[in-house]
Structure 1
Amino acid sequence: MLARQRQERIAELVRRHGSIRVGALTERFGVSHMTIRRDLESLARQGHLDKVHGGAVTAEHGSTKEPAFGEKRSREVTAKEAIAAAAARLVAPGSAVALTAGTTTWTLARHLLDIPDITVVTNSLRAAQTLEANRRQTQTVVLTGGVRTPSDALVGPVAVAALASLRVDVLFMGVHGMDVRTGFSTPNLEEAETNRAMCRSTRRVVVLADHTKWDTPGLATIAALEAADLLITDSGIEAHARDALEAGVGELTVVEPAAPTRPTESVRT
């Protein structure tokens, strides 16, 4: 494969997944780490991606850029489904849970529809809409209110005030990024404040984050890694990141995404 063709493929992978590691690219293309780093440097100069330590992210994934919900929804779909399914198994009938905004927590909302007698507190318009449109009669949905962000989160003083009087059994929190120094982070300052209020309102914090969130810090820290009682991620997480998370969070669960299904081929006789 020519360098130009390989770089086009790399740029497409980063656009599709949001981020990618050098190690994954060397395995995929069968070239050296040095070759991949040169490819990433070339693509970064052309504005196709942002080069970060150990890999690359899409150019719009800077620390202050907040991707829209629709943009994030199509990324890492199978990983998010596996993470959400594992999270739903933690929810007992009759419990009170909180969901922050995000595409993984929105995926979890769909998995909560068959759990009876639960109360769901959320600042996610998308999660609330999903639950309200499909909820059973025995479920209660509490939407915090606040100012709407590009990711369809309700944030700010109104949301924080609403959360101050609530106490839930478990919070499921999605994040923009995570690393050892920054902890769990988001590009939006008010969303970070609102998520911190959610952390104060719960007995247990469960973070839902697919492997692309590692080493992709946002502008504002929500909490240190140690604040997570449990982190659920997928098997795409690299070994060094897994080690760092195991040392930081209370408990780490790694799930295996389902393999994509292939269309059935019709056979003419």
Structure 2
Amino acid sequence: MLGKAGQIGRELRHTLPALGELVSLGREDVDVCNQQALRDALSAQQPDVIVNAAGYTAVDLAESHRETADLVNAQAVATLARYAKDASALLVHFSTDYVFDGASTAAYTETDAPSPLNVYGATKLAGEAAIAASTCNALVLRCCWVYATHGQNFPNTILRLARERDSLEVVADQIGTPTSAALIAAVTQRAIEGRRRNVLASGIYHLAASGATSWHAYAQYLVAGAAARGMPLRLSPDGIRAVTSAAYGAAATRPHHSRLDTSRLAGALGLQLPDWAHGVDDLLDQLSDREKCGAPNS
């Protein structure tokens, strides 16, 4: 597995050992921007399943770091795909809802045409294309609004700011589905098992929690939930002001609607994917317990 220290990678380290011996690699083990180093690492390990949880995920920074984002999200993925094809290995790769432009208000299916609005989405789509071109055995799992108790993500940022400020502006015209890295890791294990049993065909699948919300409503839910659990905050839900994407002015343009239709994956694996709020409640419980124990929330 590549990307062991990321949000999804850290959770995969709990679920993947059930499938066999797991070798987890991070930046200190292999530089995925160095294609030869990546090939050497694969040759040394000779995996029968390659799980790629590495990615350049800084959406706004990618606008000014296109070359690095392309190296990680596209060129490294092409190297993994070529190895998987030559070695008859299974490649599991994580992509994003940001491959879509958000013009549709319906949940996106795997057959809808991608049209990314930003560099991050474009490089992730290029990675998908490289996998398809290789014709390797692969599961490409498109995920949406990923978070975990650790790392730099929306919940941790909102809760940090809620301790520091009594007012905040959050975008209200972008709709998606907050999805926990823990859920992604658990379903990834099931998906690999399903591919081994030919329950799943090689290809692209959407993986997200159910339901949808806006960033603004999501922030309000986080702050209300944290307050209900006794976490010390300066900010109240009423102090979070809704703004438009245009007014917020982020470097990268994001889709207004990026809900993913997960029926293909859920139906094949017999899953009932939980509502997004359940995962966020679990996150808040964990962060609250950690804070009571005096441990850092990162």
TM range (shorter): 0.3 to 0.5
Superposition TM-score, scaled by structure 1 size: 0.34
Superposition TM-score, scaled by structure 2 size: 0.32
**Which structure has more RCO (C-alpha within 8 Å, separation ≥ 6)?**
2
The structure carrying a bigger helix percent of its residues is: 2
The structure carrying a bigger strand percent of its residues is: 1
